[in-house]
């Protein structure tokens, strides 16, 4: 129960207790007054009966019931100093004074009890407020420990927990902002490094072509081929970075389509056919049961194409890249494997990092294709992992459509 309501209930209970005590005391005083009045009436009736035996009991009862008004008797009492504002019996006047005194004392005690409860509540609230202030100072000093032993069910404790949550959230956001700045700085440095080398080579070759008018045709053609390769590399890098930026900024709306996995593999084979032919690598799609996955066809095709392309680049002439899909019941599994040079154990944990180049990376690799694939797959609720044995090959496993 919250403190505020607990104190209200305590005050209500005290009020009821004092009300019962006050009512009991007043009832006792009134009972005493009734007894005294009854005794006086008995004495009066006894005296009248003794002095006037002829008076009937019926007439005496009428007098006691208040029938009739004896003006002469009132005048007589006033002559003796007794009016309708005075107690006819002195004992009743004393009882009345006691009743007033008891009522006043009970009221004062009730007020004192309410004041004490209020002061206790105020003191407790002040202590809680001071603890909350100290806790905020503690957090602002860099100590983010949640004091579980001080938690209660009162409002200030709940407020302290909410402040802690808000502070931790703000701290995490601040840390992410700082980390994002470092990541941006590193990314800009990596991008600059990736662009600097091909651009420098292209500019040198262009200067040679322009300045040397008598350059042999075969050398000129070689330079132009190298320039085209560098331009393609830069174009691929820029496009991949733009795609990654859009994905990380959540500005890409992924579609949910029911796509046949074999069709995805066929698209990948079409996209990498030229590279595979130039490298002398065979691409094979293992057909089995039809497996359908829910994904964005365009983006998933790009993710798989980058993986297949990576396998082709790391597979020697005469090697083979194999693709297959399996329905595991709880999820769907896509497997892309090769029998190439494999991935070094030191490089295995880092191959999905942006701009990372492993020991067996190709000369023209920019280290962004697998990072883009991983981002696309995870954006669609999937998971990608890799297993590799040096000189035996690698196997990429994509798990998606979890139930």
Number of domains in the chain: 3
In terms of residues, how long is the chain?
403
Are 23 and 134 part of one and the same domain? yes
118-132, 154-168, 258-272, range with greatest mean pLDDT: 258-272
- Identify the residue with better confidence: 184 or 340: 340
Q: Tell me, what's the pLDDT at 116? A: 80
Whether 52 is covered by a domain: the verdict is yes
Are 244 and 173 part of one and the same domain? yes
Range of the domain at 90: 3-140
Q: Look at residues 248, 279, 301 and tell me which one is the last residue of a structural domain.
A: 248
Q: Tell me, what's the pLDDT at 1? A: 43
Pairing of strands 282-285, 320-327: parallel
Q: Tell me, what's the pLDDT at 137? A: 76
Whether 299 is covered by a domain: the verdict is yes
**Which CATH number goes with the domain that contains 188?**
1.10.287.130
Asked whether residue 112 carries a pLDDT value surpassing 80, the answer given is no
DSSP label of 87: -
Q: Look at residues 222, 248, 274 and tell me which one is the last residue of a structural domain.
A: 248
Are 54 and 134 part of one and the same domain? yes
Q: Tell me, what's the pLDDT at 4? A: 54
Are 243 and 261 part of one and the same domain? no
CB neighbours of 263 closer than 8 A, spacing ≥ 6?
Answer: none
**Which CATH number goes with the domain that contains 367?**
3.30.565.10
pLDDT digits (tens, 9 = 90+) for 91-102: 555 666 666 677
Are 55 and 34 part of one and the same domain? yes
CB neighbours of 248 closer than 8 A, spacing ≥ 6?
Answer: 375
Q: Tell me, what's the pLDDT at 63? A: 59
8 Å CB contact between 389 and 371: no
Q: How far is CA 333 from CA 64, 188, 258, 300, in A?
A: 107, 35, 15, 13
CA distance 67 to 76: 19
CA distance 326 to 293: 10
8 Å CB contact between 196 and 175: no
Whether 151 is covered by a domain: the verdict is no
Q: Look at residues 226, 248, 270 and tell me which one is the last residue of a structural domain.
A: 248
Are 261 and 395 part of one and the same domain? yes
H/E stretch holding 373 reads helix 369-379
CB neighbours of 99 closer than 8 A, spacing ≥ 6?
Answer: 25, 26, 29, 30, 33
Whether 150 is covered by a domain: the verdict is no
Whether 339 is covered by a domain: the verdict is yes
pLDDT digits (tens, 9 = 90+) for 228-285: 877 877 777 777 777 777 777 677 788 888 999 999 999 999 988 888 988 899 999 8
Are 261 and 366 part of one and the same domain? yes
Whether 145 is covered by a domain: the verdict is no
Whether 93 is covered by a domain: the verdict is yes
Asked whether residue 81 carries a pLDDT value surpassing 60, the answer given is no
Tokens representing 43 are: 């004495």
Are 294 and 234 part of one and the same domain? no
CA distance 147 to 402: 38
Question: In a 3-state reduction of DSSP, which class is residue 397?
Answer: strand
Are 58 and 163 part of one and the same domain? no
Tokens representing 167 are: 């502070």
Whether 148 is covered by a domain: the verdict is no
Phi, psi of 326 (to 5 degrees): -135, 140
Look over the chain and give the mean of its residue pLDDT values, rounded to a whole number.
76
35-49, 157-171, 233-247, 386-400, range with greatest mean pLDDT: 386-400
Q: What is the pTM of this model?
A: 0.53
Are 263 and 396 part of one and the same domain? yes
Taking residues 70-96, what's their average pLDDT?
55
CA distance 293 to 256: 9
**4-8, 268-272, 354-358: which range is least confident on average?**
4-8
Are 177 and 238 part of one and the same domain? yes
Taking residues 202-219, what's their average pLDDT?
84
Are 355 and 239 part of one and the same domain? no
pLDDT digits (tens, 9 = 90+) for 291-327: 899 888 888 998 999 899 989 988 988 999 999 999 8
């Amino acid at each position: 129960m919250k403190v505020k309501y607990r104190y209200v209930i305590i005050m209500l209970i005290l009020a009821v207790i004092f009300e019962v005590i006050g009512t009991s005391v007043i009832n006792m005083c009134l009972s005493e007054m009734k007894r005294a009045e009854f005794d006086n009436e008995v004495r009066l009736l006894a005296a009248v009966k003794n002095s006037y035996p002829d008076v009937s009991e019926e007439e005496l009862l009428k007098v006691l019931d208040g029938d009739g008004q004896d003006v002469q008797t009132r005048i007589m009492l006033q002559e003796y100093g007794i009016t309708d504002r005075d107690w006819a019996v002195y004992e009743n006047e004393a009882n009345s004074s006691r009743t007033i005194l008891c009522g006043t004392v009970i009221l004062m005690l009730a007020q004192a009890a309410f004041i004490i409860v209020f002061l206790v509540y105020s003191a407790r609230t002040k202590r809680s407020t001071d603890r909350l202030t100290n806790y905020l100072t503690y957090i602002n000093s860099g100590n983010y420990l949640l004091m579980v032993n001080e938690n209660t069910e009162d409002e200030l404790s709940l407020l302290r927990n909410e402040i802690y949550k808000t502070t931790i959230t703000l701290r995490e956001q601040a840390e992410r902002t700082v980390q994002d700045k470092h990541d941006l700085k590193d990314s800009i440095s990596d991008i600059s490094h990736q662009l600097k080398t091909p651009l420098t080579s292209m500019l040198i070759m262009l200067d040679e072509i322009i300045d040397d008018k008598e350059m042999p045709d075969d050398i000129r053609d070689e330079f132009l081929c190298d320039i085209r390769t560098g331009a393609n590399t830069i174009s691929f890098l820029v496009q991949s970075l733009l795609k990654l930026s859009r994905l990380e900024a959540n500005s890409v709306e992924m579609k949910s389509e029911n796509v046949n996995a074999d069709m995805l593999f066929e698209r990948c084979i079409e996209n990498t056919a030229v590279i595979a032919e130039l490298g002398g690598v065979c691409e094979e799609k293992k057909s089995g049961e039809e497996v359908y996955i829910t994904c964005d066809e365009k983006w998933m095709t790009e993710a798989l194409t980058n993986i297949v392309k990576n396998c082709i680049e790391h597979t020697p002439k005469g090697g083979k890249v194999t693709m297959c899909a399996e329905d595991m019941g709880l999820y769907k599994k896509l497997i892309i494997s090769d029998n190439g040079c494999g991935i070094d154990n030191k490089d295995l944990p880092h191959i999905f990092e942006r701009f990372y180049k492993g020991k067996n990376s190709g000369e023209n690799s920019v280290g962004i294709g697998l990072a883009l694939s991983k981002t696309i797959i995870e954006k669609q609720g999937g998971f990608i992992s890799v297993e590799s044995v040096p000189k035996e090959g690698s196997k990429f496993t994509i798990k998606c459509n979890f139930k």
